[in-house]
Structure 1
């Protein structure tokens, strides 16, 4: 048996159904749960607060199992190596350079590192550096595919390296036999002398994710009919929990098909990003891009001051909550790229800066889909914000909720900016373009 295992938590901030943690507890006498606050990963105030809640709950869960969470700040690879050196020096773990490299070796005296695999270019570069550093230091490294239901790269089309279109991927994905979820370990034992980082306990994280899932289960059979209801807000609100891994995606597979299909979309974009790490910077399709340089319109879009009520409602929800209804996300993205002709990269960067669920694969995959540069089979599709408003916010409640200048106006007239009575809109701007 291995003497000590370091579990490097990244986007898997949970105890249940966490293969990296489960394997470490099974393979080692002692386990050190580690989270590294990486200054290279920016987090806005909403996402930062959400992460703090996740870590507070993770600390509490580990304390209840006899351990705790060791937290460091800096480069994760450097901090893993630093911690391993401290363990060897202070606790007699042994296992010098002859103990085996990354992916090899185990036995008494060795130190192992367990970590969830990830797919972004940043994460893949970090994994390569971690593998090289562990090999040089004689640490046994294992990476686990646990951020998606089906590991990226596992499903490959005939004659291709990855799926480019969702529907054939969905058919294959449905046929995959998927194991059920596993329970959290009963106990996690720290090495002698290792003290976890002090920090507050909280009500966010894994416990909040399961409470949200339990509450949503009561209504999820109506998901297919209601998920586009902007004012009703009948979506799961689980996206940030999935991004930070406080909830395993496998826990959602007993939901209605319309929702499970969305879980599959998440897997799909992770396998796209795995195969095409430049998704954040380059068009997925070989298309000619001809974007307009219009800083004033872009600033109006960011501020929710375009004069197009549904667009402004979505952008203001984003600013206030760090969240935007999925239907509104498509509308505001289409408005930026198809109406204003502004580069999708600018929109995606704004989302990444403000969303609590700012997931690289989902965010950039969906932005390219909407812009017509990505995986959409209908690249010229556009969403008319007026029609979308009448269809998905028929009483105008979503708009009035997020655009207070229009709160005194009754009915769906709020979706037609050219009909808004200027005397009753409290300085709300006129539309920056004609629709």
Structure 2
């Protein structure tokens, strides 16, 4: 009787999961998730993501139970726990999804080494975390695309694998399943009060709502901050509760649907950059000779949403409240930190990872480098002026009022540019004066890059 192990990592779903599909073809399969002690002790484990992860695991355990199986949970290092379980159940194979971070690749090496001494094969499956395998689409003579547009042309023309079927039933040997710990046991600390619920069930419900309603307005409204015409699927994509391949297949050919699919391609683009350049998670992809300022007070004001620039503060407060931020607001707040305050983008990237439920090494680091001008942006010195951004993407001031309630009585033109009000008037409202002269600071940044 052949027994396999299905090792879940960032693919916490039963639908369109080639890892589960292939593992379940054996006589018996053991679905496994390892609470990795190295990750739990590291800077990536934060309350918001831990709470979301545990939601995902509870939902996955229930879904596997409906198939006649269950989810085995172990705590330790993946190679040790997988090898131990393989010995326990006599597994001949282990199936796992490919991933791109330096840690994920080291984990794969450790797994292969630990299993090879036991005569247990490791099968690594592509197109599970991303729609296209990170190393599949490459330009001639290079190992990755450094510019999105030519990558997207190749990506859009490339075939996408068929969706994987859900196993009809799972046959699981007798094995101790293990308990799911409480969130406070893994990562104590405060949660964002408006955190979304994790799991495949919640993710599929959200995707259904998106495709039957919201996506129709995506092309025209995805940058509108107040209406928030975005899918909010990013946390579910990060944890693999929904499949990027399934989303690509499900999207039609309308302008809005193709615009949405383009964003999935951006996600794949960043993953293929990180796969080829793993150090870009913390090093400049394209160094610009920046000498970042050291200003803890300015960073604290940015982090707390107290910069005195309403649109920037609204974005930062949305992040604190929801563990999520509108993409346009992410761009504006990142530009403000790196180019207006001229603080190291890594400070901002870490703060985002501290709170974002969808905090993803590839997307977070590469998007931050894009906005800092050290990444793949072909216009690295562009600066987003928060006044003009507010006028364009929050014209009525509704988004700012939602997250900066002390300013809710002010007209939109003042919300867009608080310099129209006397600092004393702002102080009476409990709102700080701007920490910086935005125009002067932006000009100074351009000069530091040798641009007028």
| Structure 1 and Structure 2 fold alike (TM over 0.5) | yes
Residue of structure 1 aligned with 2:117, choices 111, 115, 136: 136
Distance 1:52 1:413 in 2: 43
Does 1:394 pair with 2:395? yes
1:210-267 CA-to-partner distances (Å, cap 9, x unmatched) read: 1101111112121010000101011000000000000000122143111110000000
Residue 57 of structure 1 contacts residue 203 of structure 1 at CA under 8 Å; is this kept in 2? no
Equivalent runs, 1:20-419 vs 2, <5 Å: 20-26=19-25, 28-41=26-39, 42-87=44-89, 93=90, 110-145=91-126, 146-191=128-173, 193-198=174-179, 204-217=198-211, 218-253=213-248, 254-255=250-251, 256-419=257-420
Residue 67 of structure 1 contacts residue 196 of structure 1 at CA under 8 Å; is this kept in 2? no
TM-score (norm 2): 0.88
Aligned length: 410
Distance 1:40 1:187 in 2: 33
Residue 214 of structure 2 contacts residue 231 of structure 2 at CA under 8 Å; is this kept in 1? no
1:199: Cα distance to partner?
Answer: 5.4
TM-score (norm 1): 0.91
2:186 maps to which residue?
none
Residue 52 of structure 2 contacts residue 197 of structure 2 at CA under 8 Å; is this kept in 1? no
1:337-390 CA-to-partner distances (Å, cap 9, x unmatched) read: 100110111111111111000011100010011101000000001100111001
1:115-151 CA-to-partner distances (Å, cap 9, x unmatched) read: 1111001111111111111112221100111111110
Residue 68 of structure 1 contacts residue 197 of structure 1 at CA under 8 Å; is this kept in 2? no
Residue 414 of structure 1 contacts residue 420 of structure 1 at CA under 8 Å; is this kept in 2? no
Runs of 4+ in 1 over 6 A off after TM superposition: none
1:272 alignment partner, SS class:
helix
Structure 1, gaps ≥5 residues long: 88-92, 94-109
Distance 2:135 2:383 in 1: 31
Residue 21 of structure 2 contacts residue 167 of structure 2 at CA under 8 Å; is this kept in 1? yes
- In structure 2, the CA distance between the partners of 1:220 and 1:159, relative to structure 1 (3 Å rule), is same
1:185: Cα distance to partner?
Answer: 1.1
Instruction: Calculate the aligned-residue CA RMSD, in Å.
Output: 1.6
Residue 323 of structure 1 contacts residue 356 of structure 1 at CA under 8 Å; is this kept in 2? yes
Distance 1:420 1:111 in 2: 71
2:2 alignment partner, SS class:
strand
1:46: Cα distance to partner?
Answer: 1.8
Does 1:432 pair with 2:442? no
1:335: Cα distance to partner?
Answer: 0.3
1:203: Cα distance to partner?
Answer: 7.1
1:40 alignment partner, SS class:
helix
Residue 119 of structure 1 contacts residue 274 of structure 1 at CA under 8 Å; is this kept in 2? yes
Distance 2:84 2:374 in 1: 43
- In structure 2, the CA distance between the partners of 1:134 and 1:220, relative to structure 1 (3 Å rule), is same
1:15 maps to which residue?
14
Distance 1:412 1:84 in 2: 64
Distance 1:203 1:398 in 2: 23
Residue 56 of structure 1 contacts residue 204 of structure 1 at CA under 8 Å; is this kept in 2? no
1:357 alignment partner, SS class:
coil
Distance 1:219 1:212 in 2: 10
Deviates more, 1:229-238 or 1:288-297: 288-297
Distance 1:38 1:233 in 2: 35
1:368-421 CA-to-partner distances (Å, cap 9, x unmatched) read: 111010000000011001110010000111111111211222334212111236
2:358 alignment partner, SS class:
coil
1:190-220 CA-to-partner distances (Å, cap 9, x unmatched) read: 11x21423559x9741111111011111121
Deviates more, 1:251-260 or 1:416-425: 416-425
Distance 2:84 2:240 in 1: 25
Residue 199 of structure 2 contacts residue 241 of structure 2 at CA under 8 Å; is this kept in 1? yes
Residue 46 of structure 1 contacts residue 321 of structure 1 at CA under 8 Å; is this kept in 2? no
Residue 54 of structure 2 contacts residue 180 of structure 2 at CA under 8 Å; is this kept in 1? no
